[in-house]
C-alpha cells in the first residue's frame, strides 16, 4: 500500500495554506445562506497543510481516525470585520428593482474586497492536548 507520510496528530502542523477565494466564498456561503461551509484539512498531517473549502457533513468513511479538521470561516477573521451586506441594507428609497440589484451587487463586491484586510495571520487548532497555534498563508 502507498500511504502518505505524515502524522495522525494535528500538533505537527505549523502552517496552513488557504486560497483567498475559498475563504471569501466560504464566508459568503455561511453568512448569506447559512450553509455549513468550512475550510477542511485532511490527515495525515504534516508541517504545512492546505485548507480547502468543504461542505460540512459530507465526510467520506475513509476518514475514521484521525478525522479531518474543520475550521469555521469566521475563525480566519480579526474582530471588526464587516458583515456580509444584507439585501434590505442596500434597498434604495424610492425603490427601483434595477437600482436595488445594482446597489446590492456593488455592496457585495466592496465587501469581498474589504474583508481581505481582516484575515488573521494565525489560527488555533483545538487538539486533545489543548489549543495549538498555526500560521496562515493566503494564496491568490
Task: Give residue 57's pLDDT.
Answer: 77
Task: Give residue 10's pLDDT.
Answer: 93
Q: For the chain, what is the mean pLDDT?
A: 90
Percentage of residues of the chain with pLDDT beyond 90: 75
The pTM (predicted TM-score) of the whole model is: 0.86
What would the mean pLDDT of 76-86 be, rounded to a whole number? 95
Residue 4: pLDDT band with limits 50, 70, 90: low
pLDDT tens for 98-132 read 999 999 999 999 999 999 999 999 999 988 889 99
Task: Give residue 33's pLDDT.
Answer: 77
41 bridge partner residues: 69
DSSP the chain: --PPP-BS-GGG--EEEEEHHHHHHHHHHHHHH---EEEEEPSSB-SEEEEEEEETT---TT--SSPPEEE-GGGGB-TTPPPPPPGGGG--SS--HHHHHHHHHHHHHHHHHHHGGGB-SEEEEEETTEEEEEEEEEE-
Amino acid at each position: 500500500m502507498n500511504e502518505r507520510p505524515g502524522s495522525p496528530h494535528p500538533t505537527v502542523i505549523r502552517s496552513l495554506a488557504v486560497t483567498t477565494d475559498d475563504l471569501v466564498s466560504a464566508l459568503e456561503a455561511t453568512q448569506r445562506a447559512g450553509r455549513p461551509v468550512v475550510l477542511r484539512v485532511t490527515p495525515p498531517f504534516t508541517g504545512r497543510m492546505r485548507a480547502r473549502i468543504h461542505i460540512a457533513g459530507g465526510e467520506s468513511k475513509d476518514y475514521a481516525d484521525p478525522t479531518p479538521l474543520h475550521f469555521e470561516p469566521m475563525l480566519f477573521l480579526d474582530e471588526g470585520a464587516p458583515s456580509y451586506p444584507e439585501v434590505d441594507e442596500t434597498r434604495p428609497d424610492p425603490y427601483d428593482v434595477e437600482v436595488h440589484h445594482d446597489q446590492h451587487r456593488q455592496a457585495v463586491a466592496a465587501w469581498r474586497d474589504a474583508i481581505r484586510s481582516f484575515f488573521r495571520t494565525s489560527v488555533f487548532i483545538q487538539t486533545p492536548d489543548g489549543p495549538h497555534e498555526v500560521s496562515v498563508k493566503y494564496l491568490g
